[in-house]
Amino acid sequence: VVGEVALTGENYLAGGIDLRSHSASSGGRATPIESVMAVPMSINEQRIGVIFAVNKRDRTASFTTENLFLLSTLSSHVAIGGVLVQVYEEMGEQQRILQELLLAREIQKSLLPAAAPATDNFSIYALNNPAQEVSGDYYDFIEVDDEHLLVVIADASGKGIPACMFTA
């Protein structure tokens, strides 16, 4: 029934069914079911699941077409809820990735000198402004002795994480 509803997209309602149970606990006895109903869960005409309900009560409590209509209405809410849960999970993953990129940016900044060395003969200025969260740009100043300053400049081709990893 579930597979048929999933394939056809049509609601299903039936009553007075005896299903043979294959579980060890029932010993193969017939399981009386008063009625069953199933409705597809769809969003924008795309089926994403099926809601299936079983009624094992007495005959006065059989599912009706009104119950089927209510379940059908509820199915769209359940489908939307499922999609919202998925979206929130994806947003959480994106937020985690963004936080990791921001941490990588701070680590990359910490590898750069905090300030350029001061000299009497000339002024030195340096700025690293990555196009993305991180970049392949690097510079450093190494005072070799009182009269010599080594300036290191590196730029890995590309942008973002691959260039940053290569430079690191």
Q: What is the pLDDT of residues 6-60, one digit of tens each?
A: 889 899 998 866 554 434 455 556 667 778 899 999 888 788 889 998 887 666 6
Torsion of CA 13, 15, 20, 23, to 10 degrees: 60
What residue type is 113 in one-letter code? P
Distance of CA 1 to CAs 23, 54, 68, 139, Å? 19, 12, 15, 67
Query: Band of the pLDDT at 87, cuts 50, 70, 90?
Result: confident
Please give the average per-residue pLDDT across 72-95, as a whole number.
Answer: 86
Query: Band of the pLDDT at 1, cuts 50, 70, 90?
Result: confident
pLDDT for residue 21: 45
Helices and strands (DSSP H and E) totals, the chain:
3, 5
Rounded CA-CA distance 65/47 in Å is 21
Rounded CA-CA distance 18/165 in Å is 64
Residue 12: strand pairing partners: 38
- Terminal alpha carbon distance of the chain: 58
| Burial (CB count within 10 angstroms: exposed 0-12, middle 13-18, buried 19+), residue 116 | middle
Put simply, whether the predicted model's pTM sits higher than 0.75 gets the answer no
Strand extents, DSSP E, 44-158: 46-55, 137-143, 149-155
78 neighbors 37 (Cβ within 8 angstroms): no
